[in-house]
Amino acid sequence: MKNAHERENSYVMRQITKLTASGRQVIDDLVLKEETYSVFCNEEKIADLHCLPFFLEQLAVGYLFCRGRLQTMDDITQIGVDKASRTVRVGLESSPTAKRRDGDGEICLARADIHRLQEDFNDNCELFRKTGAAHSCALADSGGILVFMEDIARHNALDKVIGEMILSGISPAGKALIFSGRLAFDMLEKAARS
């Protein structure tokens, strides 16, 4: 899980104009730091991603995995982030081979487990509580949350979780994903692919 320093570097105080039924107010508010990072795969530019500037390797790996560019950590020959140029570069084997997939590995959770996991998830959603603008995604098993990621976009949060699963060799078998927002169809496709 992310440390407090990264969370604190994720937002800035800005003066905003708030419109309410009683009129306009100029107030100080916390705003997330959205940045654009270019993802390169084998020197080919794949995408410009608008994101929070942390866990960028996980974001790039999850993004590439969900687009069929890689299968496992073994496909990655190098990975690096250049904050100055705002790029993430991933080197891959020239043609990733299909790897054996873990079994489907169902998870069975009791009602109490679901409520406990949801409480733990909500406790981790600090950026949302501070800014009202972050999405979160977590990977959990019956014992608790294993991976927790936040980002401006819910798709990015999911890509970061998937990227961390790949980089850390975490099997999806017997795990569940927890989301902070609405599930779009393409997010379900990403979850199924992982």
Rounded Cα gap, residues 108 and 110, in angstroms:
7
Is 17 a member of any domain? Answer: no
Is 67 a member of any domain? Answer: yes
Q: Both tokens of residue 165?
A: 């699963």
Residues 77 and 119 in one domain: no
Please give the single-letter amino acid code of residue 186: D
Name the pLDDT band for 4 (thresholds 50, 70, 90): low
Return the percentage of the chain with pLDDT > 70, whole number.
91
For residue 1, pLDDT over 50 is answered with no
In sequence order, the 6+-apart residues with CB closer than 8 A to the CB of 21 are none
The boundaries of the domain holding residue 150 are 111-193
For residue 102, pLDDT over 70 is answered with no
In sequence order, the 6+-apart residues with CB closer than 8 A to the CB of 54 are 2, 6, 9, 10
Rounded Cα gap, residues 95 and 83, in angstroms:
28
The pLDDT assigned to 182 comes to 85
Residues 84 and 115 in one domain: no
Residues 76 and 138 in one domain: no
Is 66 a member of any domain? Answer: yes
Name the pLDDT band for 9 (thresholds 50, 70, 90): confident
Residues 40 and 84 in one domain: yes
Residues 189 and 127 in one domain: yes
Is 71 a member of any domain? Answer: yes
Domain containing residue 56: CATH number: 3.10.20.10
Return the percentage of the chain with pLDDT > 90, whole number.
77
Is 57 a member of any domain? Answer: yes
CA atoms within 13 A on the CB side of 21: 0
For residue 183, pLDDT over 50 is answered with yes
Residues 84 and 116 in one domain: no
Digit-coded pLDDT (tens) for 143-169: 999 999 999 999 999 999 999 999 999
Digit-coded pLDDT (tens) for 63-79: 999 999 999 999 999 99
Cα dist. 143→13, 109, 117, 125, 158 in Å?
37, 10, 9, 19, 20
Taking the model in full, what pTM does it have?
A: 0.89
Residues 135 and 173 in one domain: yes
Domain final residue, candidates 25, 60, 92: 92
The pLDDT assigned to 95 comes to 60
Cα dist. 76→25, 33, 40, 95, 98 in Å?
51, 29, 13, 11, 14
Query: How many domains, the chain?
Result: 2
Residues 51 and 119 in one domain: no
For residue 181, pLDDT over 90 is answered with no
Is 171 a member of any domain? Answer: yes
Is 147 a member of any domain? Answer: yes
Residues 69 and 119 in one domain: no
Residues 185 and 119 in one domain: yes
* Mean pLDDT, rounded, of the chain: 90
For residue 62, pLDDT over 70 is answered with yes
Please provide the DSSP assignment of 143-187 as one string. Answer: TEEEEEEEESSHHHHHHHHHHHHHHHT---TT-EEEESS---HHH
| Other C-beta atoms lying within 10 Å of the C-beta of residue 90 | 22
